[in-house]
Amino acid sequence: GTDPAALAALLPTLISVRLAAGDLDAAAAEVARLAELARQLSRADLVAHAELAAARVAIARGDGTAVAHLEQAVDRFGALGMPYEEGKARLELARCHAEASSPLAEVQARGACRLFERLGARGDADEAAALLRGLGVSGRSATRGDRDSLTSREREVLNLLAEGLSNPEIAERLVISRKTAEHHVSSVLGKLGLKSRAQAAAYVARRGADG
């Protein structure tokens, strides 16, 4: 029909059908339609869905933009309070990182597993756990807020986050590279289920510092 809202609701499914059929050009065209409808309707949720759909097309094409789209989708779904969709985006992102042999694959897979477990989405949680096992780590996700899941280095990073240090300052304090500091920060936030450095500081304030 001609109802933009109804069309927008159906487009993510249509895009999945196009991808399953291997019609990548048609899928990309539907992604563009979805993004335009999101703009016209001023719907932040549709923007997030468009980013996820764009990532799936990029994965199918192997054009290297999937990670950027998925990071946007994760952030947007998280900000909108859409945990199931955030989990799906995190799982896709974990797979992309796994293909690139990035340590961030474990962080994202654990984040997805935790979200699915909290929602009772057992099939999706099992899928995330299987990916974790494929990465050579326990398929059981860390419990939200469980500092025992952190390594000793990650505990140090957590305490420095609580002091308000930036990634470059953490790198200097621990005599590590900035990239390594960035990885540790991402891992800490992912394992504890935190979305920001401010939440990390609040976490330590509630529980006290731990070396």
Q: pLDDT of 177-208, one tens digit each?
A: 888 898 888 888 877 878 788 888 888 887 76
Q: What is the mean pLDDT of residues 87-103?
A: 93
pTM comes to 0.67
Tell me: the pLDDT tens digits for 4-25?
Answer: 888 988 999 999 999 999 999 9
pLDDT at 142: 46
Coil, helix or strand for 69?
helix
Q: For the ranges 24-33, 66-75, 84-93, 148-157, which has the lowest average pLDDT?
A: 148-157
Tell me: the pLDDT tens digits for 138-147?
Answer: 655 444 455 6
Tell me the C-alpha distance between 81 and 84, whole Å: 9
pLDDT at 139: 58
Reported confidence tier of residue 39, pLDDT bands at 50, 70, 90: very high
Q: For the ranges 24-38, 158-172, 187-201, which has the lowest average pLDDT?
A: 187-201
Q: Which residues contact 103 (CB under 8 A, 6 or more apart)?
A: 97, 183, 187
φ, ψ (nearest 5 deg) of residue 56 = -65, -35
Q: What is the mean pLDDT of residues 49-53?
A: 96
Tell me the C-alpha distance between 77 and 95, whole Å: 18
- Taking each helix axis from N to C end, the angle separating 178-192 and 104-119, rounded to the nearest 10 degrees, works out to 10
pLDDT at 202: 83
Q: How many helices (H) and strands (E) does the chain have?
A: 11, 0
Dig out the tokens for 79 from the structure.
Answer: 């900000």
| Amino acid sitting at position 10 | L
